[in-house]
């Protein structure tokens, strides 16, 4: 069976000067995942390897470098789903785990459920994953933005603003900060197994305890070996309302090619939710790609067997 992989590094108005670091991060993540697949490795390992690279790269809103909550802390969400068994592992509101995707993977391989907060961190300790200080996940850029927000010098993203106005899908205005760079990956291994994964720090200045689409199965991600996998990014509250990832896979089930499925899913998001904005990546069991967004940009990289890596932003 052909191997294939696609990763994304966030769907929002990525500023011009951040395009290159986003592309570099996506290329590095793809290379890490591809090395696993090329060596005959498994799709969950490829996804974990790719997402870890992006969690460790401070440019992305995942792991180290994530946005801060209104309380000035980092709270992380992540998930992984296996299209063969339909098992999943999801985590939310993590404050002390450097690589949430690894914890999600352990949960998928173990109890197969969704763990949040303190319970999730206790599970991390139980399976031998170290905890870190919350401060260790905070970078200067985000601390500075949070301080500026507290001082009233910048505003939170204007999610829900009509697409085409000053929403987070547009170039951030001088006052409002933009969206952020949740990361995601889909891998197809040589046994035909499709696995999806994603990781995020959520939205800037979110309420402590807020959980977006990212770790919710059917919203931020979904995979079924028979039809395909989808991973989403963008304004989480809008993505949840249309169960965007499941919707994209359902369109594949109805026979749409992956590119059309991604486009229809994103069009439906904007049609059904006022200001609904985001992006969606798709990979099918045949290794075909779909990619659509209604934000200003999405950073991505993909590779299919026999081909060279392709990327864009
Ligand atoms: N979807 C994420 C959330 O709402 C944010 C993002 O993708 O940028 O938490």
Given the CA of residue 278, which atom of ligand 1 is nearest to it?
A: 7
According to DSSP, the β-strands at 194-200 and 76-82 are antiparallel
User: 24: helix, coil or strand?
Assistant: helix
User: 1: helix, coil or strand?
Assistant: coil
Closest CA to 12 of 183, 175, 140, 154: 183
Ordered domains of the chain (ranges, CATH): 4-312 (3.60.20.30)
- List, for residues 225-278, the tens digit of each pLDDT value: 999 999 999 999 999 999 999 999 999 999 999 999 999 999 999 999 999 999
154-162 long-range contacts, CB within 8 A, separation 24+: 156/203, 156/204, 156/205, 157/203, 157/204, 159/203, 159/235, 159/237, 159/238, 159/275, 159/277, 160/235, 160/237, 160/238, 160/274, 160/275, 161/275, 162/274, 162/275
Nearest 5 degrees, angle CA 47-CA 118-CA 66? 50
Q: Is residue 72 a contact partner of residue 146, using CB atoms and an 8 Å limit?
A: yes
Given the CA of residue 180, which atom of ligand 1 is nearest to it?
A: 8
Q: Which two tokens stand for residue 174?
A: 């001088």
Handedness of CA 169, 171, 175, 179 (dihedral sign): positive
Q: Which two tokens stand for residue 125?
A: 């300790």
More confident: 169 or 3 = 3
Q: Give kind and range of the element (H or E) at residue 206.
A: none
Closest CA to 43 of 184, 196, 183: 196
Q: What is the pLDDT of residue 171?
A: 47
| Average confidence (pLDDT) over 153-172 | 63
CA of 215 to the centre of ligand 1 (A): 10
Q: Which of 94, 167, 179, 202 to mutate to test the pocket of ligand 1 (most atoms within 8 A of CB)?
A: 202
Residue 220 pLDDT > 80: yes
- In terms of C-beta density within 10 A (0-12 exposed, 13-18 middle, 19 or more buried), how is residue 119 classed? exposed
Closest CA to 303 of 32, 41, 4: 4
Mean pLDDT computed over every residue of the chain: 94
- List, for residues 36-47, the tens digit of each pLDDT value: 999 999 999 999
Which residues have any ligand 1 atom within 6 Å of their CB?
10, 179-180, 182, 200, 202-203, 212-214, 233-234, 236
Query: What residues act catalytically?
Result: 182
CA of 10 to the centre of ligand 1 (A): 8
Q: What is the pLDDT of residue 166?
A: 41
Q: What predicted TM-score, i.e. pTM, was given to this entire model?
A: 0.95
């Amino acid at each position: 069976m052909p191997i294939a992989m696609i990763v994304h590094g966030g769907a929002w108005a990525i500023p011009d000067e951040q395009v290159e670091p986003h592309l570099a991060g996506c290329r590095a993540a793809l290379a890490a995942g591809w090395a696993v697949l090329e060596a005959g490795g498994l799709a969950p390992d490829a996804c974990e390897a790719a997402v870890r690279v992006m969690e460790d790269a401070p440019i992305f809103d995942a792991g180290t470098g994530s946005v801060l909550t209104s309380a000035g802390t980092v709270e992380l969400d992540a998930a992984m789903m296996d299209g063969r068994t339909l098992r999943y592992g999801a985590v939310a509101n993590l404050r002390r785990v450097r690589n949430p995707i690894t914890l999600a993977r352990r949960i998928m391989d173990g109890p197969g459920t969704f763990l949040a907060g303190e319970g999730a961190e206790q599970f991390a300790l139980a399976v031998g994953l170290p905890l870190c200080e919350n401060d260790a996940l905070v970078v200067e850029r985000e601390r500075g933005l949070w301080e500026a927000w507290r001082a009233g010098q910048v505003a939170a993203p204007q999610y829900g603003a009509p697409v085409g106005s000053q929403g987070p899908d547009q170039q951030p205005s001088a006052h409002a900060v933009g969206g952020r760079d949740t990361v995601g990956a889909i891998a197809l291994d040589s046994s035909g197994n499709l696995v999806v994964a994603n990781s995020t720090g959520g939205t800037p200045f979110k309420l402590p305890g807020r959980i977006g689409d990212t770790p919710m199965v059917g919203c931020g991600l979904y995979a079924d070996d028979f039809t395909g996998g989808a991973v989403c990014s963008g304004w989480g509250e809008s993505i949840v309302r249309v169960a965007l990832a499941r919707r994209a896979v359902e369109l594949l089930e109805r026979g749409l090619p992956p590119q059309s499925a991604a486009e229809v899913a994103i069009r439906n998001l904007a049609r059904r939710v006022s200001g609904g904005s985001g992006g969606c990546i798709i990979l099918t069991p045949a290794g075909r790609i779909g990619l659509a967004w209604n934000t200003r940009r999405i950073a991505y990289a993909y590779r299919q067997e026999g081909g060279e890596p392709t990327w864009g932003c």
